[in-house]
Chain A
Amino acid sequence: MKNILEVSGIEKKYPGVVANRDVSLLVREGTIHAIIGENGAGKSTLMKTLYGLIRPDAGEIKVFGEAVTLKSPQDAIALGIGMVHQHFKLADNATVLENVILGSEPSRFGFVIKYDEARKKLLEIAKTYQLDIDPDEQLANLGVGERQRVEIAKVLFRGAKILILDEPTAVLVPQEVTELFANLRELVKKGLTVLFISHKLDEVLSISDDITVMRQGTTVATLTPAGTSKKALAELMVGGELPKPIAGALVVSPESILSMKDVSYSRADGREILHSLNLDLHGGEILGLAGVEGNGQSELIELVMGLLKANSGSVEVLGLDALTTLTRDIRDAGVGYIPQDRQRDGLLMAAPLWENRILGHQFATPMAKGIWIDKHAAAEDSKRIVEEFDVRTPGVNVLSSALSGGNQQKFIVGRELSGDPKLIIAAQPTRGVDVGAQAIIWDHLMQARSRGAGILLISADLEELFSLSDRIAVIYSGSIVSVLDPAKTTPEDLGLAMTGATK
């Protein structure tokens, strides 16, 4: 098998930052080649270079054995390189076919679009690569997995031979991941080549033929799944041994700190979201909440935080009735809240870090003294978080929007664990976060548990649920359908329970 893509000595510098240096990569034709690395390891820079979005300062790229210069994505497409972005670039108000041909419409006289020809070509692609898509469906009706297939079809329509997928699984639920992988295998079987960027090691090991690890801007190793292990990969990524979460002895306190009884909640439009839901969490334990997104998790969290009011049933948080208590009083009673959408619910993006430290803690000491904000205390404690949680920032006066997602998350976790909360609502605490940051966050959550705090862990990451939870509750269509013991449950069983299958 020959190398379809050869990259050597790529270097890209920005003022003060080396994004890529001495990067080399050999991709064999007809393989799935994974590129893994922490956030900021230079994966995206390399992919943008290959797609012609960035011009490197030095180095050589060979496609099909010939040295090329990529000045723009058009050059890359002409050479058969296509990219499926992490955030889809599709128009909701158009059909699948229209989205696929947008920008490369086959036309007569340059302005009459040949829809029939386009449809024929798209159906042929769908058949060849076994992509399940309907050309005439409105995009607005499609789910995330289907949209991704449209993106892939779009790239294939342009004649791509090498597909670059930027963290394709970050947005998918487990079932969709399985489908995507089946599609990818079909693609390589037909002779295409796939470059797959990820930092989920399990997936990488299961799908790839080759794995290249990047760290601090350079490629450090290329391995095969058979010749490596998850632990070895993780250590290559972070460049040392991972801090291990120390699981202290499980000391569960007898009284529950969060208790939901027969809770029902309907939206203003009458749709019932939660239906006689029962949940019980004790101090000193981590209760995982598993479920496919959109089964009522968000509403459950908002009910606990006093942001929504249930129609019936009772929600008791640290002895307070969450239906009648203000959010600020629930927080002040000792509840830490890591929201799932950190940028919208957890941060003031246009405010400096020290102000973000105050957010959620502005009603009590040490962040406030009476009616006054204590800037000094906020700045000092922000520095502590930056240190303890390894937040990569030059200082606490930096706007939070300037930090990378992983560092924002570490800061939020640090903030929410401040003041030793008794109850912690952790929603997707490590989503989109690299392994190094994940280890730090897990470690601190475990420490909080050993201290006696109760943690409600809402996660779409099954590995996270299995690694941390003492019990796993499964939410399906607004109710808790089962509570499982992670030690006696397989991921398959859990996946089955999440889809509502009854035993």
Chain B
Amino acid sequence: MRKNRIFWGAIAPIAAIFTSMVLMYIILSLRGADPFALFKLMVSYGFDPRNLVSELNLTVSYYLAGVAAAIGFKMLLFNIGIDGQYRMGAFFGAVVGAAIDLPPILHVAVIIIVAMIAGGLWAAIAGYLKVRRGVSEVISNIMLNFIAAAIIAFLLSPKLLGSLPEGSQNVQTKPIPASGQMPTIKIFDGEVYSVLFLAIFVGIAYWIMLNKTVFGFNLRATGLSFRAARSSGVNAPGMIFVTTVLSGAIAGLVGIGTLLSDTHSYSMAFPSGFAFTGLSLAILGRNHPVGIFFAAFLWSFLERAGQVLEFEGIPPEIVIVMQGTIVLSIVIAYEVVARINLKQQQRAVGKVAAEPVIEAEVK
């Protein structure tokens, strides 16, 4: 039964990737390019060791965004506010990290905790509005993303929390001292951020929390059926609020790798778009920590490898088409698989219910 489940779980993503490759093939052929040669080029570029390192670092950020989205999905929450929560986390992490002076490990820990609190509190606004005022978290989170970006832009003014380093046009927070920086691992001329280990820990903790604890059971129960959870004694509105905050806290970690291992300060140059990516990855990885990892790696691989297309005169935006196709196909494929599974189970149940018939015939 377990083997069967893994088979059906894997067949859907493979079918989705295949579908998107067929579409890519058609588009590239229409442009008069040789699709197979380009695929080959993308693969060899993407698996180039130096590129692998930067893909891995991006994977970690994507992974955390994916886990944040997955926690929300388990509660039927569409946390599109990951962008705002990540910005709040990275910004306040950077500000507090630069303002305090602590021994190395403690310093990093404080920054990480501050980032989680900032992300969590920012999400709490949407959580409160949903539970107490019935506001859809999608609407409030979209607004909160804009508000977060505006607040940070305001606070980044050199008169307030920002600074303008000499000879630079880019306002940023004051640099975090060495004690608050995270080490990197040097491989293949590249540097892997050590936040990788934090991400692995988050993935494991997420899985244990969800599948092994009473809290995780209550979370899933509320997501599966609000009314049934409430009847069973779960404080269902409270669970929705706590889950929103938890999702925001994880989102607050998305920028930590870049901040503590690379830039050491927050600036407006920090990338955006983690909300949509995180949601896509959670869907692709079926909210499973391992699945999300593979999805995150696929995403950053495609984005990195897609850059090589530019040298061949193909716009790299085609990668976005590919990602979109994968997400669309996966949603359909998972639904099909889910229906097949239910059919199989009903058939198995039917067999048991029909067993007396066979007995009667033997008599």
Q: What residues make up the interface of A, taking CB atoms closer than 8 Å to B?
A: 14-18, 21, 40, 216-217, 239, 305, 307, 326-332, 337, 339, 344-351, 355, 358-363, 368, 371-373, 392-394, 397-399, 401-404, 407
> Is B350's CB under 8 angstroms from A326's CB?
no
Bound together, the chains give a CA A330 to CA B231 distance in angstroms of 11
| Interface of B, helix, strand, loop or mixed by DSSP | helix
Q: How far is the CB of B141 from chain A (nearest CB, A)?
A: 25
Are B347 and A362 in contact, with the CB atoms below 8 A?
Answer: no
Residues of B at the A interface (CB closer than 8 Å) are 1, 211-218, 220-221, 224-225, 227-235, 342, 345-354, 356-357, 360
Instruction: Decide: A402 near B357, CB < 8 A? Known: A345-B231, A360-B231, A360-B232.
Output: no
**Could you say which residues of chain B place their CB within 8 Å of the CB of A339?**
231
Knowing A345-B231, A349-B224, say if A217 contacts B342 (CB, 8 Å): no
Give me 12 other A-B pairs in contact (C-beta within 8 A), A307-B231, A394-B352 excluded.
Answer: A216-B360, A327-B230, A328-B235, A330-B233, A331-B232, A332-B233, A358-B217, A362-B214, A362-B232, A394-B348, A397-B1, A407-B349
Nearest neighbor of B216 in chain A, beta-carbon distance: A373
> Which 10 A/B pairs are nearest by Cβ-Cβ distance?
A328-B233, A402-B345, A360-B232, A17-B350, A327-B233, A348-B224, A392-B353, A16-B351, A394-B348, A345-B231
Contact B354 A217 (CB under 8 A): yes
A407 to B345, CA, bound (A): 14
- Nearest Cβ in chain B — how far from A9, in angstroms? 16
Let me know if A345 and B227 touch, CB within 8 A. Answer: yes
CB distance from A290 to the nearest CB of B (A): 23
User: Is the beta-carbon distance between B342 and A17 smaller than 8 angstroms?
Assistant: no
Q: Which residues of B contact A363 (CB under 8 A)?
A: 214, 233
A-B contact pairs, 27 of them (CB 8 A): A15-B347, A18-B354, A21-B357, A216-B357, A217-B357, A307-B231, A327-B231, A328-B232, A329-B233, A331-B233, A332-B233, A344-B225, A347-B228, A348-B225, A348-B228, A349-B224, A351-B220, A360-B233, A362-B217, A362-B233, A373-B214, A393-B349, A397-B1, A398-B345, A398-B349, A399-B342, A402-B348
Partner of A14, one of B224, B227, B350, B352: B350
Residues of B within 8 Å of A373, CB to CB, are: 211-214, 216-217
Closest to B218 in A: A362
CB atoms of B342 and A401 under 8 A apart: yes
What is the distance, in angstroms, from B206's C-beta to the closest C-beta of chain A?
Answer: 15
| B221 x A348 contact (CB < 8 A) | yes
Known contacts A347-B225, A350-B224, A398-B345; is A359 also within 8 Å of B232 by CB? yes
B76, chain A: closest CB distance, angstroms: 11
- Taking the closest CB of chain B, its distance from the CB of A118, in whole angstroms, is 39
Give bound CA distance, A368 to B221, whole Å: 15
Taking CB as reference atom, which chain B residue is nearest A17?
B350
Q: How far is the CA of A239 from the CA of B359 in the complex (A)?
A: 13
Most buried by A among B213, B231, B235: B231
Contact present for B347 and A371 (CB under 8 Å): no
Would A326 and B212 be within 8 Å (CB), given that A216-B356, A350-B224, A373-B217 are in contact?
A: no
Distance in angstroms between the alpha carbons of A403 and B224 in the assembled complex: 17
With both chains docked as a complex, state the minimum distance between the C-beta of B335 and any C-beta of chain A, in angstroms: 13
Which residue of B has the minimal Cβ distance to A302? B231
Q: Are A16 and B342 in contact (CB under 8 A)?
A: no
A contact residues around B212 at 8 Å (CB): 372-373
Complex: A163 Cα to B95 Cα, angstroms? 76
| Contacting residues, chain A, for B230 (C-beta < 8 A) | 307, 327
Q: Which residue of B218, B234, B349 contacts A392 across the interface (Cβ within 8 Å)? A: B349
- Whole-angstrom distance from the CB of A58 to the nearest CB of chain B? 16
Q: How far is the CB of A100 from chain B (nearest CB, A)?
A: 34
Query: Within the complex, which residue of B217, B231, B345, B352 is in contact with A337, where a contact is CB–CB below 8 Å?
Result: B231
Q: Are A402 and B231 also in contact (CB < 8 A) when A16-B351, A392-B352, A397-B1 are?
A: no
Give the residue of A40, A326, A330, A346 whose beta carbon is less than 8 angstroms from that of B235.
Answer: A326
Residues of B within 8 A of A15 (CB): 347
CA–CA, A350 to B233, complex, Å? 19
A432 to chain B, nearest CB (A): 16
* B347 with A40: CB separation less than 8 A: no
Task: Give the docked Cα–Cα distance between A59 and B356 (Å).
Answer: 22
- A16 touching B231 by the CB < 8 A rule? no
**B213–A394 CB distance below 8 A:** no
Residue on A with the closest CB to B215? A371
* A16 (CB) vs chain B CBs: closest residue: B351
> CA of A445 to CA of B35 in the docked complex: distance in angstroms?
69
List chain A residues, Cβ under 8 A from B218: 362
Q: Report B-chain residues with C-beta under 8 Å of the C-beta of A359.
A: 221, 228-229, 232
Cα A232 to Cα B2 with chains together (Å): 46
Contact yes or no, A346 B231, CB < 8 A: yes
Determine how close the nearest CB of chain B comes to the CB of A411; give it in whole angstroms: 12
CB distance from B337 to the nearest CB of A (A): 14
Set of chain A residues within 8 Å of B360, measured between Cβ atoms = 216
| A16 and B354 contacting across the interface, CB-CB below 8 Å | yes
Chain A residue numbers with a CB within 8 Å of B216 are 373
Contact B231 A305 (CB under 8 A): yes
B215 lies within 8 A of A351 (CB):
no
Nearest residue, chain A, Cβ from B2: A397
If A18-B357, A347-B228, A392-B352 touch, does A399 touch B214 (CB 8 Å cutoff)? no
Given contacts A216-B357, A348-B225, contact A17 B351 (CB under 8 A): yes
**Cβ–Cβ < 8 Å partners of B234 in chain A:** 328, 362
Return B363 CB to nearest CB of chain A, in Å: 11
Name the residue in B216, B221, B349, B350 with the highest tally of chain A Cβ atoms < 10 Å from its Cβ: B349
Nearest-neighbour CB distance to chain A for B283, whole angstroms, equals: 16
**Complex interface: chain B residues within 8 A of A217 (CB):** 354, 357
